[in-house]
Structure 1
Amino acid sequence: MAVVVLLLLAIFVGAAMQRLTGMGFALVAAPFVVLLMGPVTGIVLVNICGVAASLLVLFRVFRYVDWKKFFILASAAVVGVVPGAVIVKYVPGAWLQVGVGLIVLASLTVSLRMKSFPPEPGVKPMLVAGAASGIMNTTAGVGGPAMSVYAVASKWEQRSFAATMQPYFLTIGVASVAAKYVASPSSMPVMDVWEWTGVCAAIVAGLVAGEVMARWITPNKARVLMVVLAYGGATAATIRGIAVLAG
């Protein structure tokens, strides 16, 4: 029961960050869900919850979506999902858990440092970012950092970026779950009906809480909070994975 409560709390906070920042669900929730459920099943659950959260947020921001950028980024990401599913199938769980933590830590650090780089417009950076995001979303549940790096590098306006990320994460989330189901059916999470109900309730409650908090928390403060939580969770996941390998 304690594990379920912690799991629902991680999903709740992730959903709140998704509403506040447009892409915080996986960054915040994935490391903690991996700690609680393991690196394979945990990431599949993160993908499923991310799809639900993005779909719900999309209804509120639909008019701001840049559909041209979405189609280019999503097409590249779907291609990247395939090698990601192969990695999940053949890499041992402890190594994958360490990888999840390190990917989140490295991606966050790079995205923070990108503010000093000159703009990088054009299709090629979009294809690279989309493919990298697809691989990372499938293996670690975190396709957002690659998108954040691209957004900063291309000087993408925040409102359009946050809105476009909703159909993007919806698409690559579905693709990631489908690819992992084909590659490794045993990776699908198995939970009781009441647990799935709790997950759904945590997502909705988190989005509502994010909606309320958005009245008082500025986007900059929300991003700082998201980064702090993500760094903490990623560090914990990395340490646990190393401990399993060492033991």
Structure 2
Amino acid sequence: MTDEWVGQLLLAVIVLLGSSVQWLTGMGFALVAVPALVLVLGPAEGVVLANCAAGVISVVGLTDGWRRVRLGAMVPLCVAAVCTVPVGTWVARRLSEPALMATMGVLVTAAVVLVMRGARVRALRGGGGALVAGGVGGFMNSAAGLGGPPVSLYALNADWTVREFVPNAQFYGVVVNAVSIASNGLPDLAAPVWGLAAGAMAVGALVGRALAGRVPEERVRLLVLLLALGGGLSALGKGLWELWM
């Protein structure tokens, strides 16, 4: 088996796993997939492919939950994200690949640790908190493909339930990923790779829906965070190693 086939197989597994988690819990694709996609495809292509996949999943998921979207909270979140997405793109394009890899590793690891600790942050409350969370999320989404954790922390500090959070996170995901793709451009991938990713997403959706309600949500959430933490540390380690070499 050639290195190209191995890479494509890894990509399919990563997308399938991320899609399964997203459909199982309503979130988590980027946390699971981005660190691994970055290691397989490199920072630039990995981030934009994650933006594309997460955006499609958010669109499909929102078809059932759009009535529960809190526009009063989401408008400032999304407006702030739209303003900071180009900044994330600008920063990412000016860093070398090892530096970008290390930076993404730091961002992923820090985001996971904050979410795992359930951090309560006064700056993330109210209208001002929505602007902060949306702005940080937009920057992180375009630079590192990981715009969800700041919004998760905002929802935590606003005492949203999971039922309230999921459709609003999907609405945010549609907006921020669409703007990130417009800012970063589409990944330069061959047609078979696009087909493989689309097929893996479809299979992942079937797996996630089949497991929904059968697997305790807290266990899945912990697994997602541990996988993301491991991926973030791996990306950080690889980036620092290449910088040192």
Please indicate, yes or no, whether the TM-score normalized by the shorter chain is above 0.5.
Answer: yes
Distance 1:34 1:216, change over 3 A: same
Query: Partner of 1:217: helix, strand, or coil?
Result: coil
Tell me which residue corresponds to 2:196: 198
Question: Which deviates more, 54-63 or 95-104?
Answer: 54-63
Of residues 79, 100, 110, the one that matches 1:75 is 79
Q: Which residue of 1 aligns with 2:153?
A: 149
Cα deviation 1:112-139 (Å, max 9, x = unaligned): 2235667964100000000000000011
Query: Which of structure 1's runs of 4+ aligned residues deviate more than 4 A?
Result: 115-120
What TM-score, normalized to structure 1? 0.92
Aligned equivalents of 1:5, 1:237: Cα separation in 2: 19
Pairing partner for 1:38 from 42, 62, 65: 42
Q: Which residue number corresponds to residue 211 of structure 1? A: 209
Match of 1:91 among 90, 95, 114: 95
Deviations 1:13-59 (A, max 9, x none): 11111112222011110000000010111111111111111111112
Kindly indicate whether residue 28 of structure 2 is the aligned counterpart of residue 28 of structure 1: no
The Cα shift of 1:171 comes to 0.8
Q: Secondary structure at the match of 2:114?
A: helix
TM-score (norm. length: structure 2)? 0.93
Farther off after superposition, 225-234 or 106-115: 106-115
Contact 1:119 1:155 in 2 (8 A): no
- Identical-residue share of aligned pairs (%): 32
The residue identity in structure 2 corresponding to 1:3 is G
**Rounded Cα–Cα distance in structure 2 between residues aligned with 1:150 and 1:177:** 24
Q: Which moved more, 1:104-113 or 1:134-143?
A: 104-113
Distance of 2:189 and 2:16 partners within structure 1: 18
Alpha-carbon distance, 1:226 to partner: 0.7
2:169 matches 1:171: no
Distance (Å, rounded) in 2 between the aligned partners of 1:70 and 1:116: 20
Contact 2:124 2:132 in 1 (8 A): no
Query: What 5-or-longer segments of structure 2 have no aligned partner?
Result: none
Structure 1 residue matching 2:188: 3-state secondary structure: coil
RMSD: 1.6
Written as runs of structure 1 = structure 2, the 5 A alignment for 1:99-110 is: 99-110=103-114
Report if the CA contact (8 A) 2:120-2:156 is conserved.
Answer: no
Letter aligned with residue 165 of structure 1: A
> Conserved in 1, the CA contact under 8 Å of 2:89 and 2:142?
yes
Could you tell me which amino acid in structure 1 is paired with residue 242 of structure 2? V
Match of 2:69 in 1: 65
**Counterpart in 2 of 1:184?**
none
TM-superposition CA deviations, 1:77-104 (whole Å, max 9, x none): 1111021111011111111111111101
Quote how far apart the aligned CAs of 1:221 are.
1.7
- Which residue of 2 is the match for residue 185 of structure 1? none
Q: What is the count of residue pairs matched by the alignment? A: 241
Single out whichever of 111-120 and 128-137 deviates more from structure 2: 111-120
1:57 and 1:166 in contact (8 A); partners too: yes
For the residue of structure 2 that corresponds to 1:163, the secondary structure is helix
In structure 1, how many angstroms separate the alpha carbons of the residues matched to 2:244 and 2:151?
Answer: 34
SS at match of 2:43: coil
Q: Distance in 2 between matches of 1:228 and 1:3?
A: 23
1:241 paired residue among 236, 239, 242: 239
Could you say which residue in structure 1 is the equivalent of 2:126?
Answer: 122
